[in-house]
Structure 1
Amino acid sequence: MPMKPLDFDRRYGELDQVMGAYLGQPADDEPDRPSLALRAYLRHTWHSRPWALSVAEQQLRAYAHNPPGRLRQRLGEFYPVPDVGLAEAEIQGWLLLLADHIKQSVESGEVPRPSQLPETHWEWHARFPELGQFLGGWFSQDIPDEFTDHEAAVRDYADSTDRTLVARVVGEIRELLALELDEADYALAVAELGMELDPPAPHSTGSWLGSVADQLNGFRPEYA
């Protein structure tokens, strides 16, 4: 039977976070150079959950030294490492290399500087999680079938979402706008975060995000 959530988190929770950073990215780590995916994980985790780095290092080593045997696989009580483009015989060494990079980062105390732009799809969503939920959930290609326009979608989000989450979205929009990107980078940002539509005329992507933050600050839920 599958593992219970607490047991899974104790054994594999942070390992899963590291593996998630590799989705869509090559596992091309070298002894003297972590991959783009691992650099993204290190940068975000240092600045958001630094205590988790030691957990990741321990779980990577534990999994590498004790891979799941046939019984655990049959019972479903194991973590299936995603396909990262490596042969099965290479996985153990790769996991230990990741653990070594994380250990070196922690022991050296070299905190990666925040990047102006997230460098991977995983990092975009790790840095702006609620904005990703908002844009991906309310501004997909299906919006014309559900709402009359962009403002109606924003209103629906504001009315149907807990105020704490709405406040987080507003904060994440303000953080994104504070980067003072050019319009091409704002367009890249919203696409990475799940938006599949152009902003409404006459807005640019940046000006539309600003107007959305203002709208969400002004809206109040409609209670029956």
Structure 2
Amino acid sequence: MPLSPLEHDRRYGELDQVVRAYAGQQADDTPDRPSQALTAYLRQTWHDRPWALAVAERQLREYADHPPGRLRLRLGEFYPVPDVGLSDSEIQRWLYCLADHIRHSVEQGEVPPPSTPATHWEWHARFPELGQFLGGWFSQDMPDEFAGHDAAVDDYRATTDAQLVVRLVGELHELLALDLDEPDCALALAELGMEVDPPAPYAPSGWLELVAHRLAGPRAVYAPETTEGRE
């Protein structure tokens, strides 16, 4: 019987987060050194969900202790580990290695120092609303959907809950505080889903400042038209 969403999250939810952190990254962890992907997962999870690390360690170890057979995977009764470039015979050892690194990090209190996001997963985990904004309103279809960048920003604001707009403003300021040079800022925008260039004459950081200012300002309020006083 296929896993229900609740059962999936209870048994494999945080394991899935760990494995997703390896998208586009090498699973080259060794007993002496965690990979860049695992370091990024540790850094972000320590920051916003430290309690989840113990869950991840347990789920990784339990999955490695009882690897599913092909039949149960085909029936949807187990979480299928996505392809991370390792053979089936290497997966079990790799999962134990990840669990050991996470346990060591928790028990020793070894937290990766703050840093600019190093992986695609970390960019989106750290800036979730900015990823929604750029990927949803500034994809390659933006020129066909809106009259320009300002129109897209205004549409986001008009159709998005005010609390999420405030969250986006905070994430914009956090990204700007990384003080990236313009090429790295452009790469950050691409990682977060932007598929069009900022409008001329703005550099990426200058456009982000403009967007933050535009979204932080008061919403335009239009009074309804009235016929009072007309003949």
Residue 77 of structure 1 aligns to a residue in which SS? coil
Once the two structures are superposed, what CA deviation does each residue of 1:192-221 show, in whole Å capped at 9, x if it has no partner? 101011111111111110110111112538
Aligned-pair CA distance for 1:111: 1.4
Instruction: Tell me how far apart the structure 1 counterparts of residues 34 and 74 of structure 2 sit (CA, whole Å).
Output: 34
Aligned-pair CA distance for 1:222: 7.5
Give the TM-score normalised by the residue count of structure 1: 0.95
Specify the code of the residue in structure 1 equivalent to 2:199. P
Instruction: Tell me how far apart the structure 1 counterparts of residues 220 and 12 of structure 2 sit (CA, whole Å).
Output: 39
**Unpaired segments of 5 or more residues in structure 1?**
none
User: Larger C-alpha radius of gyration, 1 or 2?
Assistant: 2
Corresponding position of 1:192:
191
**Unpaired segments of 5 or more residues in structure 2?**
225-231
Aligned-pair CA distance for 1:70: 4.8
Corresponding position of 2:96:
96
Instruction: Tell me how far apart the structure 2 counterparts of residues 68 and 222 of structure 1 sit (CA, whole Å).
Output: 58
Give the TM-score normalised by the residue count of structure 2: 0.92
Query: How is 1:61-80 mapped onto 2 (pairs within 5 angstroms)?
Result: 61-70=61-70, 72-80=72-80
Specify the code of the residue in structure 2 equivalent to 1:33. R
| Contact in 2 for aligned 1:12/1:59 (Cα 8 Å) | yes
Once the two structures are superposed, what CA deviation does each residue of 1:60-119 show, in whole Å capped at 9, x if it has no partner? 00000111235532431210100011110111011001000101111111111111x111
Aligned residues: 223
Instruction: Tell me how far apart the structure 2 counterparts of residues 140 and 69 of structure 1 sit (CA, whole Å).
Output: 40
Residue 154 of structure 2 aligns to a residue in which SS? helix
Residue 28 of structure 1 aligns to a residue in which SS? coil
Corresponding position of 1:44:
44
Aligned-pair CA distance for 1:48: 0.9
Once the two structures are superposed, what CA deviation does each residue of 1:126-161 show, in whole Å capped at 9, x if it has no partner? 110110110011001101110010000000000011
Corresponding position of 1:105:
105
| Contact in 2 for aligned 1:158/1:219 (Cα 8 Å) | no
**Structure-2 change in CA distance of 1:145 and 1:69 (3 Å):** same
Corresponding position of 1:216:
215
Q: Does 1:159 align with 2:146?
A: no
25-34 or 175-184, larger mean C-alpha shift: 175-184
Q: Does 1:9 align with 2:36?
A: no
Instruction: Tell me how far apart the structure 1 counterparts of residues 218 and 124 of structure 2 sit (CA, whole Å).
Output: 25
Instruction: Tell me how far apart the structure 1 counterparts of residues 11 and 23 of structure 2 sit (CA, whole Å).
Output: 20
Aligned-pair CA distance for 1:184: 1.5
Residue 190 of structure 1 aligns to a residue in which SS? helix
Aligned-pair CA distance for 1:2: 2.5
Residue 64 of structure 2 aligns to a residue in which SS? helix
Q: CA RMSD in A?
A: 1.6
162-171 or 146-155, larger mean C-alpha shift: 162-171
Corresponding position of 1:143:
142
Residue 155 of structure 2 aligns to a residue in which SS? helix
| Contact in 2 for aligned 1:158/1:221 (Cα 8 Å) | no
Corresponding position of 2:227:
none
| Percent of pairs with identical residues | 71
Instruction: Tell me how far apart the structure 2 counterparts of residues 95 and 129 of structure 1 sit (CA, whole Å).
Output: 27
174-183 or 211-220, larger mean C-alpha shift: 211-220
Which runs of structure 1 show a deviation greater than 4 angstroms over 4 or more consecutive aligned residues? 221-224
Specify the code of the residue in structure 2 equivalent to 1:62. E
| Contact in 2 for aligned 1:40/1:119 (Cα 8 Å) | yes
Corresponding position of 1:60:
60
Specify the code of the residue in structure 2 equivalent to 1:54. A
